[in-house]
Chain A
Amino acid sequence: MKNLHLPIGEEDLRSLRAYDSVSFSGTLYVGRDQVHQRLVKLLEEGKPLPVELEGQAIYYMGPSPPLPGMIMGSCGPTTSARMDPFTPQLLGKGLKVLIGKGPRSQAVHDALKKEKAVYVQAFGGCGALYAKTIVSVEKVAFEDLGPEALLRLEVKDFPVIVAIDSHGGSVF
């Protein structure tokens, strides 16, 4: 298991290969369907994004409510395929690490290779396990979306498996 920091450095990113087990610590964004749609709409309208995506990681996730005394509820990955229509444009803006579960479209495979980015799988359904990795949570944009707002998380020892690497290698 490799321990890597987020946002990821160029060298670390290029070292990742399909099937590698990795443990991430650092910061990542959380956004799913609505956030993707809005980010892409802003890009299409030529407007600035609420956050800088260059070099960042995004996690597709929609948590259950936190228990008293906790900052995050169960928080495993959601199905990545739903973000496929929006992903190539975000990769074009410098997003480097995608975190979700399940297969991706050919367009995403191609864009990952072109933009030298990676797609990693979190363990499907393991929401309690991921809840324990969350160090802090902050709402950063689209607060009107409520539980679907764009979040920034700080995580520690967040385990994933590389599914599509930046060299075109893939588990699919």
Chain B
Amino acid sequence: MSLAKRIEKALIDAARILSEPIHKRIEWARDEEKRLDGKSVGSKASIAVLEAILENLRISKNEWIPMCQDTGMFDVFVDVGRSYPLSHAEIEEAILTGCEKAAKNGYFRPSVVEEPLFGRKNTKTNTPPIIWWSLVEGKNVEINVLLKGFGSENTCATRMMNPTATEEQIVAAVADIVTLAGGKPCPPIFIGIGLGGTMERAAYLSKRALLREVGVPNSVERYAKLEEKILAGVQATGIGAGGLGGRITALNVAIEYEPTHIAGLPMGVSINCWADRIARVVWEG
């Protein structure tokens, strides 16, 4: 199968089926909500939301209907091995074709406009995709595409934290962003956090964090602990599934960090809805 075809197929599937760890995490949320409360009106409503999500996923898989009508914007992350032998232009071509065909053959909603302010004319093809290129070790190409819905994208934020910020202040800032978001991003949510770099690099890292497999903590223990603390801080907001009040507001928190400037601590916070749709293709060079 050509690279373009593999990308197309992965995207069409991603709009209908969540990865197993993500699906399991939603089941975990329902069980955990029952265990921790399950009696208050908010918790009962949260459980109804989580049951509806699971039923929705069953229907989307069996009947091949996109799980959500907002099939999102293609946010493409390409990691090219330094020894990958072929042309980058070919990869680009395959991505463009794969996205366009997936939108058409996968019955995606045309959700992209040509320009942001004047007229906002729909491109009708759900393209262009956003493409981020990185060079990595090896000879393969790994492509990850987030089908990024905008109910949740509209609640993302960057904050330029003080260089002397404490862990507690980071936790509080994320909880604040999640509280502002409330029920808008279709909770329960996935949270990706980027720390360090510059303003735009922190935002980029926050999206990369969303790509890490759910349940795999940061490989550095201090950051893995911080992920846990932030998750606890976010659950304490009490927003709950559907924003109706419940114990489980977030399903996962992942942090990616990088070097930064002595005078700053940029933080990007990306929020994704429970419909955490990621298409992944590894192309061997």
Contact = CB atoms under 8 A, between A and B. Distances in A.
A167 interface: no
B281 interface: no
Contacts of A103: 182-184, 243
B53 interface: yes
Contacts of A125: 53, 56, 67-68, 70, 149, 151, 186, 273-275
Q: Give the interface SS of chain A, mostly helix, strand, loop or mixed.
A: loop
Interface of A: 18-19, 21, 61-67, 70, 73-76, 78-79, 81, 101-103, 121, 123-129, 131-132, 147, 159, 161, 163, 171-172
Consensus secondary structure, chain B interface: loop
B66 interface: yes
A75 B59 contact: no
17 contacts: A19-B42, A19-B45, A63-B69, A67-B64, A67-B65, A73-B65, A75-B69, A101-B183, A102-B151, A102-B243, A124-B186, A125-B273, A126-B53, A128-B65, A171-B243, A171-B244, A171-B245
B44 A126 contact: no
B242 interface: yes
Interface string B145-172: 0000101001000000000000000000
B65 A121 contact: no
Nearest to A148: B122
B49 to A, nearest CB: 6
B60 interface: yes
Interface in B258-285: 273-275
